[in-house]
Amino acid sequence: MMTNMDKLYEAVAARGPVCVGLDTDFSYLPEGFAKAELTAGENIVRFNKAVVDATKDVAGCFKVQIAYYESLGLDGIRAYKETLDYVKAAGMPVIADIKRGDIAKTAEMYAKAHFEGDFEADFITLAPYMGLDSIRPYLPYVTGAGKGLFVLVRTSNPGAKDFEYEKLADGRHVYDMVGDKLHELGLECMGEKGYSSLGLVIGGTHIEEAAEIRARYQDSFFLIPGYGAQGGTADDIARYLDKHSNGGVVNSSRAVLLAYKKQPGVAFDEAARNECIKMKEAIAHACNSL
């Protein structure tokens, strides 16, 4: 079975590793764009659609962070669904960034909510710190329908140092232990392209261990946040990709959505496209320079 992770690998091979984050706050909309007769959610959908249309041939996938939509209540949830639907209709892989982390029946319900029905996505993000029994309820969708997971291992925020970098008695970091357990679990759901459907979230802002992490999890596909607004550079990111400049997608949200603010006189969707191309070329150059 061709899994969603296999399809994502192919998308990166065809269009590059840029993941456009549709983490769209209403304040990101350009002045004069919003129509007064429409709701905030409806205007956000208009903005998202324009960004998708402008970038879908230079991006590997899109990620939609649900919190930006939940904050608008029912209006936002409708916008979330319509955004997911539009990305899927464009034939693009879509990651629902929901970061759920609960056990037993609750996890089953989260899996059903985001792998079926109105909010169905190709991939979802999970937080594993309640243990592997918070991950296993999602696996029937992985093995049965080819769905994909991206599970937090080592994140891009400064607070990663608070817990994830703590040392264990055997010398490993906490994030090493989490990554090792997830990697082992992921061997149960390998795809045709040599990558597990259980991917790892590996932040691109801490580069000291990059080569070690890539070598340690050679058959794990990475979702790499931290590029752009969080300080990650192309040179940092390249170390987390494989020898084919694949094996991961690099998320950028604000740097793409707000690119028009740094490109005076350029329409927001064209500016977003320009930023994606710039990012894609920078990562390719960095990978070729390794």
Indicate the average pLDDT of the chain. Answer: 95
pLDDT at 39 over 80: yes
- How sure is the predictor about 112, in pLDDT bands with cuts at 50, 70 and 90? very high
- Return the exposure string of 79-117: e unless at least 16 CB atoms fall within 10 Å of the residue's CB, then b: bbbbbbebbeeeebbbbbbbbbbbeeeebeebbebbbee
Buried b (16+ CB within 10 A) or exposed e, 192-227: ebebbbbbbbbbbbbbebbeebbeebeebbbbbbbb
Residue 210 is predicted with a pLDDT of 83
- Which are the catalytic amino acids? 99
Asked whether residue 285 carries a pLDDT value surpassing 80, the answer given is yes
What value does the mean pLDDT take over residues 4-28? 98
C-alpha to C-alpha distance for 53 and 262, rounded to whole angstroms:
20
DSSP tag of 196: B
Total-model pTM: 0.96
Q: Are the C-beta atoms of 152 and 128 separated by less than 8 Å?
A: yes
* Model confidence pLDDT, tens digit, residues 134-156: 999 999 999 999 999 999 999 98
| Contacting residues for 67 by C-beta, under 8 A, at least 6 apart | 23
Rounded mean pLDDT of 28-52? 98
- Interval 245-265: pLDDT, tens: 899 999 999 999 999 999 999
DSSP H/E element including 248:
strand 248-252
Give the number of residues written for the chain. Answer: 290
Residue 256: the pLDDT is 97
